[in-house]
Chains A and B, each alone.
Chain A
């Protein structure tokens, strides 16, 4: 009997390894797939029955005999579970479906179709296809991927690089980790296509040390890809491309592209001033594409199904789909890939079912530690780049962290400053000193000193306008959004002191 037990870190964190061992001991054939993204059901075991994969979750080793003899209560067809059925899975089409390290299965599910097309195309046509798809940087900045690639394609240089930024460690986001653990060949294929498009022959994946499972899967997948001519001599064509994983060392700021490049070169991960753009002077001063994991992992489906198909999803200038990660105090948390445009409230209340605690939602933070808090009054904001910008926030890496009514918003604002102080690279003053002063100023407010509120506002403006990168520049988002939407929490402290 064939049984799927995810190898995704979230499934492992909830006991998947013990479940898999119990199935093996019972004589079942166990396949370690990626996660379907329904984290509240992990470990989500699947058993094939008349060609349909039936789910059982959250499974424990004690459930194994009943699952094998068919007497356990099932969730029915996994793909019919509403959370899964309501998605438009493009980037994550194979994640959770296939064995991540089985290249033949990857191909049988549409893998390498895009690359086969790309090797027959000219570099200019490859870049044009990405531009037409409307793909924008999925790491947060939302810069059009095709334009970045075109800059590198036109740049002169004996050696160009594709650098995959797998160090975006925003709290509440795990799409990068899931795709690397659940469909690593997809990222590899995307990087190879990027290499063909811009004329690069070497790629680096700068991967967070906090993701040991992803590091292991990616390294194994790269070896398999080399043995099968996906890497090296690309599909036996005249093109060469190789990839190496480099492990980060626990610095959050290295998710910023210039800081990442310094780290990759073996330096302190301090931010570089731009210009020069990394596209022209990147890794070792050479033309470099730095793209986020999800941006690169979306490239294969664009070439498989065509730019027009991808661009037919979405809202306005936010084309395509976004893997949204719903986390924190959430009833049905996980990864939900959908076309841009779904209202935030629908994601929080209808898709995710609100809080795990059952208490009302107080706020959600969208876009990681540098993202704004959204109170329920703003839940009609469509999930897309421009509408979020207009609402005083950012979608960032599309992490949505839910907080219930017990949350101390002054404390969350303080944490944002504290985190910035811990992780600041120290290059620019507004971030290095501003974050420390921010913690002190919020503490003064907490002790009832209302005169510190205008100081905090002023400090946030300085950090926003004067910082070199998003760490110092965006830390004011969570702070100011908490202050503006929950002013009573900043004033209550004052009354208490009086």
Chain B
């Protein structure tokens, strides 16, 4: 899902800024769009965004770093999110995520050395009556097992 274009393509960034600048509160839509194109919010995109919005780069850094969704580095080709919230814990989410992390040899937020897989925690996908729940590249999965998840992301 996350694309990886070269961060030097600032042309795209200015087009994204132009598209959103007229909105009331344009910053989050801009950051979402930048991340959709580049797979992360590249450092090179910061100056043009800060200039366009008349905020300092420090303020912009404050916003980017506040939200779990925005990445400074590209994620792996496949992003696996495993729910850690209470309803999924009630049906074994803790054991499940421990097993998945072990099988993949990763820690939370870790990306495999070949750049294929990133594993992240998520706090509730709204699939609380069919947990444990997970999401692979934006696709929801219910009643998952560690083995099935690892098999699917390893394909």
Contact = CB atoms under 8 A, between A and B. Distances in A.
B34 interface: no
A254 to B, nearest CB: 9
B87 interface: yes
Contact of A401 (B86, B133, B138): B86
A247 interface: yes
Interface string B101-142: 000000000000000000000111111111101010011111
B125 A249 contact: no
Interface stretch (B9-17, B19-27, B72-80, B147-155): B19-27
A221 interface: no
Contacts of B90: 327-329, 401-404, 407
A57 B133 CA distance: 20
B140 A12 contact: yes
Nearest to A265: B25
A172 B128 CA distance: 5
Interface in A247-261: 247-252
Contacts, number: 157
Contact of B143 (A14, A244, A284): A14
B126 A9 contact: yes
Nearest to B20: A266
A212 interface: yes
A413 B83 CA distance: 18
Interface string A471-491: 000000000000000000000
B99 to A, nearest CB: 17
A266 B27 contact: yes
Contacts of B86: 171-172, 328, 365, 369, 401, 412, 415
Contact of B130 (A42, A172, A248, A267): A42
A416 to B, nearest CB: 8
B28 interface: yes
A209 interface: yes
A371 to B, nearest CB: 9
A169 B126 CA distance: 8
A266 B69 CA distance: 14
Contacts of A407: 90
B85 A213 contact: no
Interface string A310-349: 0000000000000001111110011000000000000000
Interface in A198-220: 209-213
Contacts of B70: 249
A248 B66 CA distance: 12
A212 B66 CA distance: 21
The binding surface of chain A is classed by DSSP as: mixed
Contacts of A268: 62-63, 66
Interface residues of A, number: 63
Nearest to A373: B86
Contact of A249 (B68, B135, B138, B139): B68
Nearest to A369: B86
B81 to A, nearest CB: 8
Contacts of A174: 126-129
A13 B87 contact: no
A246 B69 CA distance: 14
A125 B127 CA distance: 39
Contacts of A329: 90-91
B126 A177 contact: yes
A263 interface: yes
Contacts of A40: 129-130
Contacts of A403: 90
A235 B124 CA distance: 37
Nearest to B24: A284
Interface in B37-88: 53, 62-63, 66-70, 85-88
A269 B124 CA distance: 19
Nearest to A365: B86
Interface string A369-402: 1000000000000000000000000000001011
Given A250-B67, A252-B123, A404-B90, 14 more contacts: A10-B126, A12-B140, A39-B129, A169-B126, A174-B126, A178-B126, A264-B25, A326-B129, A328-B91, A328-B129, A333-B128, A334-B129, A401-B86, A403-B90
* 7 A-B pairs closest in CB distance: A266-B27, A333-B129, A171-B85, A13-B142, A327-B128, A328-B90, A249-B67
